[in-house]
A and B are shown apart, each in its own frame.
Chain A
Amino acid sequence: MAEKHSKIRYLTLDILKPHFPDIVDFSSMIMEKVAGVSKIRTEITEIDQDTESIRMEVYGDNIDIDKLKKVIRELGASLHSIDEVIVEH
């Protein structure tokens, strides 16, 4: 968990999600619901009959990581791993 005086500026996430919402709606809803997010880049890395794996890059001033995890879960997706992070003072 980030220290109070540190700010999360960037994250790369590995997420497994159903086909809907599609990556446009999925990314848009995360942007709307999570504080501190200014930009999201999403790429589908794998796809099968029921699900798709995506690589999501989240940029912001002070990303609320707990809210981000909660929203991902609410959208019916599963956060497999956080692969990269940039934290600044």
Chain B
Amino acid sequence: MGVRERVREFKKYIKITKADTIARRYFIMNSFDGIVTILGILTGSLITGLFDPIPVIGISISTAIALVVSGFSGTLIAEMSEREIERRQLEESMLIDLRNSIYDKAIKTAIAWVGIVDALSPLVAILVSITPLIFSIYNLIDSVTALYMGITICIIYLGGIGAFMGRVLKKNLLIEALKFIGIGLFTTVIISIILNPLRM
């Protein structure tokens, strides 16, 4: 089977299982998780005076890896368990073996796709946010500015997720974006208040 045919088959399986809807939900949820996590790391670094970009990048990347592994494996385990229960119920109702059927292949494709989206969503969010810190390693910008820029990127990214949700729900994009930005700013404020005694 050629590449084009495989892509066509993949798209068909995603369509018939409505995995695109599930994947969208995981994308929003896990991008949000990733970006608020990195926002916490960057804000905490700024407040506590950890201006050396290398440990901050190290912590951020290790957090990203943990979220990728957790996201992918967690989704796989959860979705496969649910689908296995559904498959058995269906086999009992229909008195046939659904293994190796298109139904079975479509389900497995959907689970793999949702797992990949779940894994990559926080990774992209975190890597985008720490880009200024990477520039600061090469002295293109100073590390304090890099932290502020990273935090700003997080807030903008949150606004982007909000706008995306607004588009999906056919609501006002600006209002939905502002809601998510509000959550980001609230997170920053709470962290600042709690960590203020540790300020250097």
What residues make up the interface of A, taking CB atoms closer than 8 Å to B?
16, 18, 20-22, 25, 29, 48, 50-51, 73-78
Contacts and interface: CB of A to CB of B under 8 A. Distances in A.
Contacts of B167: none
Interface of B: 12, 15-18, 89-90, 93-96, 98, 101-104, 106
A75 B101 contact: yes
How would you classify the secondary structure of chain B's contact residues: helix, strand, loop or mixed? helix
B18 A76 contact: no
Contacts of B18: 20
A51 B103 CA distance: 13
25 contacts: A16-B94, A18-B90, A18-B94, A20-B16, A20-B17, A20-B18, A20-B106, A21-B103, A21-B106, A22-B16, A25-B12, A25-B16, A29-B102, A48-B93, A50-B93, A51-B90, A51-B93, A73-B96, A74-B101, A75-B101, A76-B90, A76-B98, A76-B103, A76-B104, A78-B95
B16 A76 contact: no
A75 B90 contact: no
A78 B96 CA distance: 7
Contacts of B95: 78
